[in-house]
Amino acid sequence: MTAGQAPLLEVRDAVLSFGQTPALRGADLSVAAGEILAVMGPSGSGKSTLLHCMAGILVPDSGEVRFDGRRVDRMREPERSELRRDRFGFVFQFGQLVPELTAEENVAMPLLLGGTRRGPALAEARGWFPRLGLDGLGGRRSGELSGGQAQRVALARAMVARPDVLFADEPTGSLDSLTGEQVMEQLVDAVRENGTTAVIVTHEARVAACADREVMVRDGKVTSLRLERTGP
Ligand SMILES: Nc1ncnc2c1ncn2[C@@H]1O[C@H](COP(=O)(O)OP(=O)(O)OP(=O)(O)O)[C@@H](O)[C@H]1O
Q: What is the CATH number of the domain that holds 27?
A: 3.40.50.300
Please report, rounded to a whole number, the percentage of residues in the chain having pLDDT higher than 90.
Answer: 72
Whether 4 maps to a domain, the answer reads no
Q: Which stretches of the chain score pLDDT less than 50?
A: 1-2, 230-232
Atom of ligand 1 nearest to the CA of 217: 21
Which residue has the CA at smallest separation from atom 5 of ligand 1?
18
Q: Does ligand 1 have an atom closer than 6 angstroms to the CB of 48?
A: yes
Q: What is the pTM of this model?
A: 0.91
Whether 2 maps to a domain, the answer reads no
Q: How far is the CA of 207 from the centre of ligand 1 (A)?
A: 21
The model's pLDDT over 14-62, given as tens digits with 9 standing for 90+, comes to 999 999 999 999 999 999 999 999 999 999 999 999 999 999 999 999 9
Q: Is 0.90 exceeded by the ipTM?
A: yes
Task: Give the domain range for residue 111.
Answer: 9-226
Q: How many domains does the chain have?
A: 1
| pLDDT score at 144 | 94
Strands 9-18 and 21-31: antiparallel
